[in-house]
Structure 1
């Protein structure tokens, strides 16, 4: 995740709504094990293009096979080229993409994303990236495991993305080459940092840009001890508190595709060698895994409504201006310098 320190306090809490049964359970112990494995020293910080990244990609590919996902390209691997910031040398990255076909084979589609890359070595120490973002990938795999045994109503695409830390390159490559008709993608659920927060708060951003999502987010059952909060997605939070362009959902945002970003606030372990499995709040992480599974199941069951709301929203919007990237690789939002 590419984030900066946030000031201010969120005032809006969302709570579980009655009637949204938690009827598909996540295997949270497997999710914890996946988090542990992905943040182990053998992954060497999962920096894009390294042996550690290759080891991580192999592990994720094997877990996608176990979950029963169908490869979205000729195989799970989606190889792309990009030029890192402050460089003229072209590099290769590798996303891993699979899907479950829904009963409604021609309807709208959900895209679930989480980046698996991290920083590699930091000043001679391994930056294992347990929260950022082994946690998000472990949650993505847990959702895939659960839905492999409960066929969804709509097709759901799962993408473990590479090269997020140096410019959201994997997400941008995926959106440019979606293995579906782009117009069918009506929601991106992006998972980035789900394992550490002293207050057990899990922000869900996105409804500022797509207001019809707000009531849906409120209706999703939240597993204890998680407290879901909405915000971090508008200029009112200031330049460091608006997370619209802080993770892979930004590529979907620029394509006009609605998104919800689940990820915790900044903490002392962020982008440090201390972001290790030992500091993960396992109960909080487990409840977040169940909560984001609940979200995917909820949206799958209500996706026709969301698609209609999205179409109405689009009809009222001016043509989108693309964001640009500054010399440091940070996104500059349209209309803001």
Structure 2
């Protein structure tokens, strides 16, 4: 019994050795070619994807930095009694321009006037018989691809001062436009800091002397820091914090004036930006040169339109507190105000980053 077991074991060992030798000999064939290297990750994989609804997540990210809370905090400062109603040429208006300059300095947004200054000084001769001087405030973000092309976003910094010791704060007119412009600039600056700056340059233009005949914007249009031929559009913000009594039933609106007056391209880009990101009711009730209110001629966009620069005027309409001491920050509709400011931001983003600038409509 033991002997047979030894013989069987010996046979098994021999068989295993034979199989191993056969397997080893099969490796003498030529080696297989090496596997190709893994394909590199495409740079586009690192970029944000468009959302299912067509929104660019970068635009959504930066528009959402414009909040009702921040607008409210700054508007209460800007439309306070300390600013004395911001009448052109007064100490209150000087406080206002220094306030704005300080905001841009904190954000590290450079000045847009000559030699990097923030003020474009307007000599008293320009004001005719009025013995005053004043200044526009300019801040500037340079474009990454087409820096010579400039989008202007404007708002007037002045109001009507004091009367009989009563301060006219001008919270809606035009504190709302002024602070919206600051917040829009901050959103673009954050985008630039994070490597997503605008392809075209943007001029944030706070004009003086609107209340005495659009004098600040007229001065800029006659003495442009950046050639008007290279100015692709002006988005003008004048009163966007309140609700027109005519719209109290449907408040998700803003009046647009002038968007198709000079450029159908501008109108179409504006509509697209709104439909994609905000979906506000763009109301064109006052969008006519024959409008009896003549709103097309009554704010600073018109100084650019006269020079054939395409324009949009954003406006909430008038209300019972228009040009009264009761135009105060506590009456602003801050959520609606923020939504309108976001609309202007996304429209500016579209204009600053589109392949083509809006062209003038022929005829």
Higher RCO by CA contacts (8 Å cutoff, separation 6 or greater)? 1
Q: Is the 8 A contact 1:20 1:220 kept in 2?
A: no
Residue 70 of structure 1 pairs with residue 110 of structure 2 = yes
Q: Is the 8 A contact 2:147 2:199 kept in 1?
A: no
* Secondary structure, aligned partner of 1:88: coil
Q: Is the 8 A contact 2:210 2:299 kept in 1?
A: yes
Give 1:27's aligned residue: 66
Residue 177 of structure 1 pairs with residue 230 of structure 2 = no
Q: TM-score, normalised by structure 1?
A: 0.81
Corresponding residue to 2:233 among 169, 175, 187: 187
Residue 158 of structure 1 pairs with residue 224 of structure 2 = no
Residues 145-188 of structure 1: CA deviation (Å, up to 9, x unaligned): 01111111110011111110001011011112211122110100
Cα displacement (A) at 1:209: 1.0
- Equivalent residues in 2 for 1:7-22 (5 A)? 19-21=54-56, 22=60
Residue 296 of structure 1 pairs with residue 348 of structure 2 = yes
- Equivalent residues in 2 for 1:310-325 (5 A)? 310=360, 313=361, 316-317=362-363
Change (3 A) 1:273 1:200: farther
- Equivalent residues in 2 for 1:123-142 (5 A)? 123-142=164-183
Counterparts of 1:50 and 1:107 in 2: how far apart (Å)? Answer: 35
* Secondary structure, aligned partner of 1:136: helix
Structure with higher Rg: it is 2
| Structure 2 unpaired stretches of 5+ | 1-52, 192-196
Give 1:102's aligned residue: 143
Residues 219-266 of structure 1: CA deviation (Å, up to 9, x unaligned): 113676953323423135x331x4221100011011110011111111
* Secondary structure, aligned partner of 1:149: helix
| Higher deviation after alignment, 39-48 or 170-179 | 170-179
Change (3 A) 1:65 1:231: farther
Cα displacement (A) at 1:118: 0.1
- Equivalent residues in 2 for 1:1-337 (5 A)? 19-21=54-56, 22-24=60-62, 25-28=64-67, 29-72=69-112, 73-74=114-115, 75-82=117-124, 88-150=129-191, 151-197=197-243, 198=248, 199-210=251-262, 211-221=264-274, 226-236=280-290, 238-240=291-293, 242-302=294-354, 304-307=355-358, 309-310=359-360, 313=361, 316-317=362-363
| Higher deviation after alignment, 21-30 or 42-51 | 21-30
Change (3 A) 1:224 1:153: closer
| Higher deviation after alignment, 287-296 or 275-284 | 287-296
Counterparts of 2:130 and 2:170 in 1: how far apart (Å)? Answer: 26
Tell me the number of residue pairs that the alignment of Structure 1 and Structure 2 aligns. 291
| Structure 1 unpaired stretches of 5+ | 1-17, 318-337
Cα displacement (A) at 1:212: 2.7
- Higher normalized helix content (fraction of residues): 2
Q: Is the 8 A contact 2:259 2:313 kept in 1?
A: no
* Secondary structure, aligned partner of 1:91: coil
Counterparts of 1:246 and 1:193 in 2: how far apart (Å)? Answer: 12
Q: Is the 8 A contact 1:26 1:289 kept in 2?
A: no
Counterparts of 1:27 and 1:121 in 2: how far apart (Å)? Answer: 31
Q: Is the 8 A contact 2:151 2:231 kept in 1?
A: yes
Q: Is the 8 A contact 1:46 1:120 kept in 2?
A: yes
Q: CA RMSD in A?
A: 2.1
Counterparts of 1:133 and 1:78 in 2: how far apart (Å)? Answer: 20
Counterparts of 1:266 and 1:82 in 2: how far apart (Å)? Answer: 31
Change (3 A) 1:90 1:163: same
Counterparts of 2:133 and 2:302 in 1: how far apart (Å)? Answer: 21
